[in-house]
């Protein structure tokens, strides 16, 4: 399958290659630092780790002693506050912390069609977030490209697990799932309940279509992926799409009589379950440090009717 992309898509070939916390020690008696944890992660995942890549430390002091690890799809301010309460000071995030591909680096020239590369260090929200991280002795490490490169494709299997479909994967395709037949409306309601969505979920297409085969695509689904695979399934569940491309492609298929549907849950929400799997994996390879998952959740709300 085509794998869901991170903000940076440069590293898909990777498969070839503290305030108020008590640090935990390791077997040799020395405390484990954030840098030490990351070295262990790098060893376990393998591949090339260039200094200019998407993955790496984004905030905080790597020499900080680790009290615990929190994984998350995005290190929002709310997630950071929950991490402090949970006595976890190393935050492993899938998406950028500072709202752009630059991820806290200085602004650069705009990329055609994609806007400015990043917010400046003087941006008030960036400053507030950095100050919170520093005040609470947190360290933020981004783990996207290397996590995505694992052959297990944890981002997809994590979402399938959250939806209760783990045992229904189609052989030889980790994105396809054959689920118990139900209408699109009933299936969408199930997705909303399982992922605890508020107003972020959107659906387009035939609500009465009978759904049997589903394509899962956490993250951002490209138009090419949808055009290639929409005819194979009854329903696509994606994190996000470009409305003028994918959404209205699905809408026009519905108008033309095709009984299919497209659901978007929100990009970060769709990635949350995969980072829950990451916490479980980290706990298995770093037994001396507690690791937990902190979900971002659905940030949207709807006005009263």
Q: What is the pLDDT of residue 33?
A: 97
pLDDT of 13 higher than 50: no
Q: 252 vs 244, 245, 246, 256, CA distance in Å?
A: 11, 11, 10, 6
pLDDT digits (tens, 9 = 90+) for 234-245: 999 999 999 999
DSSP reduced 3-state for 259: coil
Mean pLDDT, range 104-108, rounded to an integer: 58
In DSSP terms, which residues pair with 238 in a beta bridge? Answer: 217, 264
Q: What is the pLDDT of residue 304?
A: 80
Q: How far apart are CA 91 and CA 291, in angstroms?
A: 10
Q: What is the pLDDT of residue 296?
A: 98
Can you name the CATH fold of 154-265?
A: 3.40.1390
pTM over 0.85: yes
pLDDT of 298 higher than 50: yes
Q: What is the pLDDT of residue 152?
A: 86
Kindly tell me the sign of the dihedral angle through the C-alpha atoms of 235, 166, 191, 143.
Answer: negative
Can you name the CATH fold of 34-151+271-293?
A: 3.40.1390
Mean pLDDT, range 72-86, rounded to an integer: 98
Determine how β-strand 202-205 pairs with β-strand 139-142: unpaired
Q: Which of 299, 277, 271 is nearest to 94 (CA)?
A: 271
pLDDT of 102 higher than 70: yes
Q: What is the pLDDT of residue 2?
A: 52
pLDDT digits (tens, 9 = 90+) for 130-167: 999 999 999 999 999 999 999 889 999 999 999 999 99
Which residue blocks in the chain are alpha helix, DSSP H? 34-45, 77-85, 124-135, 145-148, 154-162, 184-194, 223-229, 248-255, 267-285
Domains 34-151+271-293 and 154-265 share a fold: yes
Q: How far apart are CA 217 and CA 2, in angstroms?
A: 9
Q: What is the pLDDT of residue 111?
A: 52
pLDDT of 251 higher than 50: yes
pLDDT of 12 higher than 50: no
Q: What is the pLDDT of residue 23?
A: 45
Q: What is the pLDDT of residue 31?
A: 80
Question: How would DSSP label each residue in 46-109?
Answer: -S---TTSS-EEEES-TTSBPS-EEEESS--HHHHHHHHHTT--EEEESS-SSSSTTTTSPP-P
- Domain range annotation of the chain: 34-151+271-293, 154-265
CA distance between the termini of the chain: 41
Q: What is the pLDDT of residue 6?
A: 57
| 82 contacts: CB under 8 Å, gap ≥ 6 | 70, 294
pLDDT digits (tens, 9 = 90+) for 32-66: 999 999 999 999 999 888 877 889 999 999 999 99
Q: How far apart are CA 31 and CA 90, in angstroms?
A: 14
Question: What percent of the chain is predicted at pLDDT more than 70?
Answer: 85
pLDDT band at 107 (very low <50, low <70, confident <90, very high): low
Q: How far apart are CA 259 and CA 40, in angstroms?
A: 48
DSSP reduced 3-state for 167: helix
Q: What is the pLDDT of residue 22?
A: 40
pLDDT digits (tens, 9 = 90+) for 174-221: 899 999 999 999 999 999 999 999 899 999 999 999 999 999 999 999
């Amino acid at each position: 399958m085509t794998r869901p992309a991170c903000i940076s898509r440069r590293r898909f070939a990777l498969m070839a290659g503290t305030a108020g916390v008590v640090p935990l020690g390791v077997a040799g008696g020395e405390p484990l630092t954030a840098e030490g944890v990351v070295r262990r992660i790098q060893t376990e995942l393998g591949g090339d780790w260039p200094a200019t890549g998407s993955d790496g430390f984004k905030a905080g002091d790597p020499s900080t002693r680790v009290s615990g690890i929190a994984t998350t799809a995005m290190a929002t301010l709310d997630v950071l506050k929950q991490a402090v309460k949970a006595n976890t000071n190393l935050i492993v995030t899938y998406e950028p912390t500072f709202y752009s591909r630059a991820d806290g680096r200085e602004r650069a020239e705009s990329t055609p069609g994609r806007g400015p590369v990043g917010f400046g260090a003087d941006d008030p929200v960036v400053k507030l977030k950095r100050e919170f991280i520093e005040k609470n002795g947190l360290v933020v490490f981004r783990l996207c490209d290397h996590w995505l490169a694992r052959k297990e494709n944890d981002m997809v299997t994590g979402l399938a697990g959250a939806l209760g479909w783990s045992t229904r994967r189609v052989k030889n395709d980790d994105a396809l799932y054959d689920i118990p037949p139900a209408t699109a409306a009933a299936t969408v309601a199930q997705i909303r309940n399982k992922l605890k969505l508020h107003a972020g979920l959107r659906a387009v297409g035939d609500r009465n279509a009978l759904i049997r085969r589903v394509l899962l695509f956490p993250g951002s689904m490209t138009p090419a992926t949808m055009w290639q695979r929409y005819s194979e399934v009854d329903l696509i569940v994606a994190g996000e799409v470009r409305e003028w491309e994918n959404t209205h492609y699905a809408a026009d298929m519905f108008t033309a009589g095709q009984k299919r549907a497209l659901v978007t849950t929100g990009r970060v929400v769709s990635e949350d379950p995969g980072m829950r799997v990451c916490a479980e994996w980290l706990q298995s390879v770093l037994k001396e440090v507690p690791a937990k998952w902190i979900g971002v959740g659905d940030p949207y709300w709807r006005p009263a009717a």
